[in-house]
Amino acid sequence: MIKNINFLFVTFFGIGTIRYAPGTITSLITTILLFSFFHILNFPNIIILAIFLTTFFYSFFAVENYIKDEFNKDPKEVVIDEVIGQSIPIYLYEVAHGVDKNLQESILFYIYIFILFRFFDIKKPFPINYIDKKFKNSFGVIMDDVIAGFYVVLTLIIFMIIKSKI
């Protein structure tokens, strides 16, 4: 039973089993889900944070359990790390901008966040590449995407500072 639950969890309800670009598709679905939570369903930030933190902490157990008998310690069907990494910059964007946001601007930032996250996740600049190569366990699987998410945050902060100076 726990093995089936972990499979559904780490593959984000089977999305990770999609043949082509499961990480990108998962990131896109995560972006759409979070947009819905924040802008359509108007979930309170604390509820979204609780879901995120639960997902983050449980993912270490679930991924470790899933990959323990695998030769490849970062199989492509494990996409919960994309959910986590994509969620970080979106959540921080929403919290930083409060309730007074232009919907069109929010959509643009969601697109920027999605593209930037996929860029950093695929290119793996330092220290993402180090974590990815050095840690062949759930820590490595999850934390490289967490760092990619924070790279997105840093990039957007730099962009906003430059924009405010111009």
pLDDT tens string 109-155: 999 999 999 999 999 999 988 988 888 888 989 999 999 999 999 99
0.85 cut: is pTM over it?
yes
- Residue 108 structural domain: 2-165
**How many domains in the chain?**
1
Q: Give the residue ranges of DSSP H helices in the chain.
A: 2-10, 22-35, 45-67, 80-97, 103-123, 128-134, 138-165
Q: What is the mean pLDDT of the chain?
A: 91
Structural contact between residues 143 and 135, judged by C-beta atoms closer than 8 angstroms:
yes
pLDDT of residue 2 exceeding 80: no
